[in-house]
Amino acid sequence: MATINEQLSPEAFFLRLGRFPNGGDELQYYQAVSFPKKGRAGCEIMLRRSTISGRVEFEGEIENHICDVLSKDGEIIQTITLDQISFNYLKNKMRPKVDA
């Protein structure tokens, strides 16, 4: 199984969480969080730490929680599937606001 470091795009700069509240069909996004001093390394560390007790899948089927990996230009590079534990960890550590 490939590691997060091996799977994460070299262009990674922002992480943006999303979820389907109450199992609905409309995706609720949170504001993207950047790692200006560490860039890709900051993204990789956050994702790796979220796997300690949760699940992160780069090519998993989206159920309820996701994390978009964005480039410096704000373009979506990858979409990662998260379980609720990983999502909550990232949300608590990054403290993003719900995107309006």
In this predicted structure, what is the pLDDT of residue 63? 83
Q: Residue 48, exposed/middle/buried by CB under 10 A (0-12, 13-18, 19+)?
A: middle
Residue 77: predicted pLDDT? 96
Mean pLDDT of all residues belonging to the chain: 92
Per DSSP, the three-state class of 90 is: helix
Q: What's the confidence (pLDDT) of residue 60? A: 83
Gap between the Cα atoms of 43 and 41, Å rounded: 5
pLDDT band at 47 (very low <50, low <70, confident <90, very high): very high
φ, ψ of residue 77 in degrees (nearest 5): -100, -45
